[in-house]
Amino acid sequence: EVQLVESGGGLVQPGRSLRLSCVASGFIFDDYALHWVRQAPGKGLEWVSGITWNSGNIYYADSVRGRFTISRDNAKNSLYLQMNGLRTEDTALYYCARGRNNDFWTGQDYWGQGILVTVSS
Amino acid sequence: EIVLTQSPGTLSLSPGERATLSCRASQSVDSTYLAWYQQKPGQAPRLLIYGASSRATGIPDRFSGSGSGPDFTLTISRLQPEDFAVYFCQQYGSSPQTFGQGTKVEIK
């Protein structure tokens, strides 16, 4: 069974940093691209960042470029999102999601349950 | 950035009825790179359709997708009680990947 479990969220003050983690199981981790997608309370979905299977290509939404860094450790079946310079508008439920295959340009077929990040003073 | 506009915002229908949801892109999107998701309250999104018309694993055949850039459609042939939810379209052919704002299908 494919599982994606996020951790590392919480309440943080504006300007501070937070690191999200996502541990995967039930599939061959380094066969797939991975993504972070967020959802502000009561709002729609916003793609945040994605990374290819070998970390060779990385992409970001304009809203987070220069502040967030995505990375993965295939040996640990783990995906990360380092978030620096957090803003109140970054408050959201952050989902870890798997691409459908090793091609980056696919939809996301498995999602974690999400981890809440609240940015507030 | 490609903007996806979904209509209507809310669709009020009865079980057994047909639902037709629209997604229009601000620029042409290759149908290979268009997906639809279902999201229920308190749950993560669920992939329904990819490549505009291919059903994801385990998705019932009452869900179907069609269209070509810039206009795409998700059809639910006969609404079941479990289909009342919010539906999002997504383009993943260019970065940043983008989602529509969602269509809520509610019980009339």
pLDDT digits (tens, 9 = 90+) for B20-69: 999 999 999 999 999 999 999 999 999 999 999 999 999 999 999 999 98
Average pLDDT for residues A9-24, to the nearest whole number? 98
- Residues 6+ positions from B1 with CB-CB distance below 8 Å: A62, B96, B98
**A44/B100 CB distance under 8 A:** yes
**pLDDT at position B48, please?**
98
What is the model's pLDDT at position A102? 82
Give yes or no for residue A115 having a pLDDT over 90: yes
Q: Half-sphere exposure (CA, 13 Å, Cβ side) for B39?
A: 28
d(CA B47, CA B9): 20
pLDDT at B51: 95
- Write out chain B residues lying below 8 Å of A111, CB-based: 44-46
Token pair of B4, please?
A: 């996806």
At B69 the pLDDT is 80
Q: What is the C-alpha to C-alpha distance for residues A3 and B54, in angstroms, rounded to an integer?
A: 23
> What does the pLDDT read at residue A104?
86
pLDDT at position A60 is 96
What gap in Å lies between CA B50 and CA B59, rounded to an integer? 11
- In whole angstroms, give the CA distance from residue B79 to residue B105: 10
pLDDT digits (tens, 9 = 90+) for A59-85: 999 999 999 999 999 999 999 999 999
Partners of residue B97 in chain A, C-beta under 8 Å: 35, 47, 50
Selected for mutation to probe chain A from B37, B86, B95, B104 (highest A CB count within 10 Å) is B95
Among the partner-chain residues B44, B56, B99, the one whose CB lies closest to the CB of A113 is B44
Task: Please give the Cα distance from A108 to B61 (Å, whole number).
Answer: 20
Query: What is the per-residue pLDDT for A101?
Result: 85
Contact B98 A47 (CB under 8 A): yes
Q: How confident is the model at residue A103 (pLDDT cuts 50, 70, 90)?
A: confident
CA A64 to chain centre: 12
Q: What is the mean pLDDT of residues A89-106?
A: 93
Interface of A with B in 53-82 (CB under 8 A): 59-62
| Per-residue model confidence as pLDDT tens digits over A19-65 | 999 999 999 999 999 999 999 999 999 999 999 999 999 999 999 99
- Pair B63, B49: CB distance under 8 Å: yes
Q: How confident is the model at residue A97 (pLDDT cuts 50, 70, 90)?
A: very high
Q: Would you state the pLDDT for residue B42?
A: 95
Q: Nearest by CB to A106, which of B44, B92, B98? A: B92
